[in-house]
Amino acid sequence: MAQAPKKANDAGANAEAAPKKKKLLMMIGVGVALVALSVGGTVVALKMLAPPAEAPAETAESHATLAPAVYVELAPNFVINYSVDGRQRYLQASITLMHRDPLLDSLLQLHMPAIRNALVMLLSSKDFNSLQTPEGKEQAKTEALTVIQTLLKKEQDALVASGVEEGLTTANIEQVLFTNFVMQ
């Protein structure tokens, strides 16, 4: 009979342990649910804040079309002499070309003597007094750009006509910059 009360005590201990296990399982379940909600909320928030899938492709295209600027300084400086009212006058100009195609560098170096000649002829044909005005300088820059672009286009066309197409570029000079312009 001594064994029967033991069984009763064991049954009472099991009866008390069952509600504790249920509470523990419920707490674990609530914890897992809270973690799942937190992860789900984070994923939804990141998707809402992320840019659309098409935006990176457009950004890559815009960077491809707008390459970094490349500057080519035409050294030595240009020195042009003028005769104004029987007096010798001089222009010293530092000219830099801006483009965005690295393949254009070799073409510029190849045709640098022709480019320099065209610029000397252009600047020496200008009226000294008109070059002293901002409008005159701007017009000289515009004409210099046109002269260089025309020369490069002509040379590229000649290469294509001769069958040399490898390494050619369709890019052109974007700007002619006067980095130094001294007249006396």
Q: What is the pLDDT of residues 115-142, one digit of tens each?
A: 999 999 999 999 999 999 999 999 999 9
pLDDT of residue 43: 73
State pLDDT tens for residues 56-113: 455 545 445 678 889 999 989 999 999 888 899 999 999 999 999 888 888 888 899 9
Tokens representing 17? 């342990």
User: What's the whole-model pTM score?
Assistant: 0.60
Question: Greater confidence, 10 or 73?
Answer: 73
CA distance 41 to 35: 10
Domain-wise residue ranges, the chain: 3-50, 67-183
Which amino acid is present at 7? K
Show Cβ contacts of residue 70 under 8 Å, excluding neighbours closer than 6 positions.
98, 99, 100, 101, 102, 104, 105
- For the chain, what is the mean pLDDT? 81
Cα(first)–Cα(last) distance of the chain, in Å? Answer: 130
Question: Greater confidence, 82 or 47?
Answer: 82
CA distance 37 to 32: 9
For the cut 80, the answer to whether the pLDDT of residue 51 exceeds it is no
Is residue 144 within 8 A of residue 122, CB to CB? The reply is: yes
Tokens representing 64? 């491809």
Domain 67-183 indexed as CATH 3.10.50.40? no
